[in-house]
Chain A
């Protein structure tokens, strides 16, 4: 019966969203009016600067808990730094759905926390406001930001936001487990990784006690493929992994998982932060991002760990996948100029970007901030900065994420459990993937 209610709720959402949309067609004009009106309001705001009221900005994000506090710190600092603009952070658990509804029916925020890979899916729908003019007007240098991160915020030659954080996976290793197993140096190549994993793995009968290396995340295929010298997509938007490079990745996985048994399918599934397998010494090496540093540091002496850039593939190719968040301005915002001031203050100012980094332990997308000793002298950040030098963002094809989650990963799962051969896996993933990419290429 509960499910009935779920379905009804779903249908209702569809319907209300539908109603919202029909009203947009008439609202479309008023939206553009609002945009042209923004300039007037900006003028007013600057005219009023002397004694007028501050412009209220709404900033939406889906970071709760610690993340919310970190955002609040930055928002407070910005509000204190000047008296023309006042920003309020609003936590939205279901960020994208809420934003879409707001974008079409009013009540849109002025600044939005943006998971960057979504750009190619949403930018063509004209829900985000391009910031190129602001960039030129304020003379910001694009080279100060990670090029790949900007690339991920760009669609049809328009830039839609600035990077707030950049991240990439690097190899975390448990120093104690490695040295106990006689591994003196953290691995730098696939071979070394494999050997270290074999040495650190401990089985007790049929029970896996320590997994040498985590193979739990199939989503990292992209990174492995780069290390094998491959690319996920061809230039004309087709899958590009059904070849000897994709095969090299699968054989590498298969050897470690099914022959050397350094991992077991499902070993980490469902373990939350408190029982993280790496933190509790159940996994000796794992790929993870800088966001885990603060968690692992909490364990102090109990968890002696190091980080190295991802090991290189058989031909010495390096590979990493960059991700992270940006800040964008919705097209429906009524205070776009003020929103830009806030974004610029936060993401394109050395001191503030550094304050953000120290508050949240994230790596900011603004390179000048990274020259600070806070990053350069920290042995745990250095490997991430090194990785970010060669890391690539995910392909900016609107169908990419669908292809990955629906065509590639299910087939990889079947492969890992020996339900299908490597060749068949790649072939099926290619067929399904190409179809998904073609279906999703047209966004508008």
Chain B
């Protein structure tokens, strides 16, 4: 027993040694900034000349800030469409590309490629593709007799365009995660189901989908977080316009902090956003936990 204890102690010591560098970085670049931001959210810090403690003023102000809540509405609308589509499309792609065939890797790579491009560069290209008169999208629509809208400039389509562009860019990496998940599903489950005469749909419904639950949890959580933190595409594609329909909380925070120098207020907004993300991640966790995988 005592030798076990010694070993454990030794292992524990080594473990601490190994996690120390990471933890130091984590503390320096995550914990301390978060604590600083929390403190700043109670001040009127402006980067340059003032940092006075203003108690809950920033949070009180937020309650009356219509624009802030509008941005939340915008990202919820975005998330409600983006998250399910993201899961469906990347799962379908993954199932489509999960066979061992000649050349399948080429197709996987092609589907993954959009993920590799920088989001700002990709968004810039999409601005051209979506141009109402000279853009490829509307030209293609023109061949079938449809006059396409001014995608990014019209209130009806601006957010849909952003959803489209972000989907295009994010399904690739989720597809890879799903392929990994699919390959972890044991073959004997399918074999025995087949012997029992289960249809393809039933095999998906009762084997694949439940087995992929942890994967879906990961993908959906990342998608929800990503949706609530949407910034680059909205910044490049529409600058939050038209009429604020694509303005997101992070965009607003960026503007408040760096353009208007209201770093204190921006920190408060960032904190409320962080809490919102936490809440939605928990809700997502509950939903996903309700059905545990079989194996």
Contacts and interface: CB of A to CB of B under 8 A. Distances in A.
Do these two chains interact?
yes
Nearest to B142: A207
B109 interface: no
Contacts of B100: none
Given A3-B230, A410-B241, A21 B153 contact: no
B34 A11 contact: yes
A423 B142 CA distance: 36
A406 B67 contact: yes
Contacts of B201: none
B154 A265 contact: yes
Contacts of B62: none
B89 interface: no
Contact of B242 (A11, A205, A417): A417
B210 interface: no
A14 B267 contact: yes
Contacts, number: 133
A127 B153 CA distance: 38
A146 B204 CA distance: 75
A121 B262 CA distance: 11
A410 B47 contact: no
Interface in A103-139: 103-104, 121-122, 125-127
B29 A8 contact: yes
Contact of A264 (B34, B150, B232, B244): B150
Main DSSP-derived SS at the A contact region? helix
Nearest to A16: B33
B47 A21 contact: yes
Nearest to B222: A1
A265 B225 contact: no
Contact of B243 (A2, A101, A206, A413): A413
Contacts of A265: 150, 153-154, 242
Contacts of A266: 131-132, 150-154
A414 B158 CA distance: 13
A402 B241 CA distance: 15
B132 A10 contact: no
Interface string A171-214: 00000000000000000000000000000000001111000000
B7 interface: no
Interface stretch (B11-19, B91-99, B185-193, B252-260): B252-260
Interface string B30-57: 1011101100100001111111000000
Nearest to B227: A3
A126 B49 contact: yes
Contacts of B119: 2
B82 interface: no
Interface of A: 1-4, 6-8, 10-12, 14-15, 17-19, 21-22, 97, 100-101, 103-104, 121-122, 125-127, 205-208, 264-267, 269-271, 275, 282, 402, 406, 409-411, 413-414, 417, 419, 432, 440, 444
Which 5 pairs show the lowest CB-CB distances between chains A and B? A266-B153, A266-B150, A270-B127, A15-B33, A414-B243
